């Protein structure tokens, strides 16, 4: 036999040896380790036993490679000979078994109950599943095996909940944050609501719930109100905290019209952040002019287009100059005319009573209309005769402040009107300013003049 023949014999022997070795190894693995291989005779997944094992979309690693004994303990040979009489020993420490391969997920402050109890298989199938991570159910259906599915019911459902993405907000294993959240408080919300996170930066005023938790106002799962509000977001939600406002609005005689619009509280207030006091949507006067930019019909009569009026009249009353309508008006309602904070006569004539002018006396000195003579209280005097006293302090037909002054603005000094409503007539005031006084030729009396230094003798 030549060299070529010898080489052929050696190759034949080597190949035969390799086939025998593979057969022996295959037999050994199937006998000792329960190899999951449907083509191997009498394996764990033959038609006689676990025939469906390893066929699902997602298969656990040991099951996928046929190493059943990586997790199970017992005699594989005897088990196959008589499964009922030779069962694998129950796994007492499921979590401990999983951690032999998987990293621990129970070290943080908050640990999900199944994880804490070592019951990984409450959520995961140890062999196979049609769902990723070998979950027993898909998405939120898995969570609803323990959690009440009512939290996902409502007219409005939060986006992550609607797509079954509980894990977008919650960590299923462990976390350092309450409620198994993926981040602290509002930071969870800002992961998606980046527009809000950007809008909130640098604002002077932050609504208290925003600074604490978005979920104080919004349901993180579902609800019956728009924007997942926990109550009617335009008002009832606000009353959950602002109970004093609820009681006040319910009892006052004159309601602010803004509270009766579709937006209600949100007509004036931003529920998140603002650069303006009281969470107003704009500067105070500008906020009022969102509605008061046109004539309005009210239970107290017609209100002028205040935005246009203030544009045309530049001599502003102090509160308007300071940009604070609420100095005089209670923006949530009042028992007084024009939702004023305190009583003020809405008529031209009124018997004098200091209480009638409580609103004015919040800023102005009461003695302005109490002292008949003065050289200091007012510039409206003839010599030392106090002409405020003359007009107002009368038992019958005392002129109220509004007879001469406009409480918002005019183009005349001291907020003197050009004319005042007197029934259906616009009664002219006819004021003329002079160096040390002035004169009036109103619709209610002849022309009278006054001078603070040299008193005028009027007929």
* Structure confidence at residue 15 as a pLDDT band (50, 70, 90): low
Mean pLDDT of 407-431: 93
For residue 4, the model assigns a pLDDT of: 59
Q: Give me the pLDDT at residue 32, please.
A: 43
| pLDDT at position 52 | 82
> Distance from first CA to last CA of the chain, Å, rounded?
159
pLDDT confidence of residue 249: 95
DSSP 14-57: HHHHHHHHHHHHHHHHHHHH----TTSTT-TTSTTS-TTTT-SS
Least confident of 8-22, 60-74, 99-113, 277-291: 8-22
| Average pLDDT over the chain, rounded to an integer | 88
| Residue, of 48 and 153, whose pLDDT is higher | 153
Token pair, residue 384, equals 């030392």
The whole-angstrom separation of Cα 99 and Cα 289 is 66
Per-residue model confidence as pLDDT tens digits over 280-313: 999 999 999 999 999 998 877 889 999 999 999 9
pLDDT digits (tens, 9 = 90+) for 367-388: 999 999 999 999 999 999 999 9
Tell me the per-residue pLDDT of 30-83, one tens digit each, with 9 for 90 and over: 444 444 443 444 567 766 778 788 889 999 999 888 888 888 887 777 877 777
In order of 103, 184, 207, the CA distances from 203 in angstroms are 43, 21, 10
| Alpha carbon distances (Å) from 423 to 205, 349, 417, 426 | 45, 12, 16, 8
What mean pLDDT is predicted for residues 91-100?
91
Give the DSSP letter of residue 126.
S
Q: Kind and range of the H or E element at 111?
A: strand 110-111
Give the tens place of pLDDT for each residue, 155-188.
999 999 999 999 999 999 999 999 999 999 899 9
Q: Does 2 have pLDDT greater than 60?
A: no
Neighbours of 342 (CB within 10 A): 16
How much of the chain, in percent, has pLDDT values that exceed 90?
A: 70
Measured distance CA(458)–CA(448) in Å, rounded: 6
User: Distance (Å, rounded) from C-alpha 33 to C-alpha 173?
Assistant: 31
Q: What is the pLDDT of residue 37?
A: 41
| Average pLDDT, integer, range 110-116 | 96
CA-nearest of 197, 234, 189, 254 to 215 is 189
């Amino acid at each position: 036999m030549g060299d070529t023949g010898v080489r052929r014999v050696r190759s034949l022997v080597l190949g035969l040896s390799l086939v025998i070795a593979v057969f022996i190894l295959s037999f050994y693995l199937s006998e000792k380790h329960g190899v999951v291989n449907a083509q191997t005779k009498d394996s764990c997944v033959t038609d006689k036993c676990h025939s469906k094992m390893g066929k699902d979309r997602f298969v656990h690693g040991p099951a996928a490679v046929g190493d059943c004994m990586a997790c199970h303990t017992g005699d594989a040979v005897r088990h196959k000979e008589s499964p009922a009489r030779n069962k694998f020993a129950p796994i007492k420490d499921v979590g401990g078994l999983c951690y032999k391969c998987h990293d621990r997920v129970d070290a943080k402050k908050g640990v999900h109950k199944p994880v804490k109890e070592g019951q990984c298989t409450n959520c995961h199938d140890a062999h196979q599943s049609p769902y990723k991570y070998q979950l027993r159910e898909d998405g939120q259906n898995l969570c609803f095996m323990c959690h009440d599915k009512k939290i996902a019911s409502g007219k409005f459902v939060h986006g992550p909940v609607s797509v079954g993405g509980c894990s977008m907000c919650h960590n299923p294993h462990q976390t350092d944050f309450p409620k198994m959240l993926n981040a602290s408080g509002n930071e969870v919300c800002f992961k998606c609501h980046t527009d809000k996170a950007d809008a909130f930066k640098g604002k002077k005023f932050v609504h208290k719930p925003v600074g604490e938790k978005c979920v104080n106002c919004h349901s993180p799962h579902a609800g019956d109100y728009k924007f997942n509000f926990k109550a009617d977001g335009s008002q009832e939600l606000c009353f959950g905290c602002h109970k004093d406002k609820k009681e006040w609005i319910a009892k006052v005689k004159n309601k602010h019209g803004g509270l009766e619009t579709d937006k209600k509280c949100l007509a004036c207030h931003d529920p998140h952040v603002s650069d303006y006091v009281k969470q107003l949507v704009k500067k105070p006067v500008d906020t009022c002019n969102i509605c008061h930019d046109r004539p309005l019909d009210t239970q107290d009569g017609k209100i002028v287009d205040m935005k246009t009026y203030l544009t045309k009249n530049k001599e502003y009353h102090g509160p308007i100059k300071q940009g604070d309508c609420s100095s005089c008006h209670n923006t949530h309602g009042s028992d007084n005319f024009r939702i004023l904070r305190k009583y003020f006569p809405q008529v031209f004539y009124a018997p004098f009573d200091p209480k009638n002018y409580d609103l004015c006396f919040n800023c102005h000195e009461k003695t302005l209309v109490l002292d008949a003579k003065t050289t200091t209280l007012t510039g409206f005097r003839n010599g030392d005769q106090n002409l405020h006293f003359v007009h107002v302090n009368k038992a019958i037909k005392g002129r109220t402040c509004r007879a001469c002054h406009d409480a918002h603005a005019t183009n005349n000094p001291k907020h003197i009107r050009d004319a005042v409503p007197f029934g259906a007539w616009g009664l002219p005031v006819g004021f003329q300013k002079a160096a040390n006084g002035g004169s009036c030729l109103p619709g209610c009396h002849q022309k009278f003049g006054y001078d603070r230094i040299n008193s005028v003798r009027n007929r």
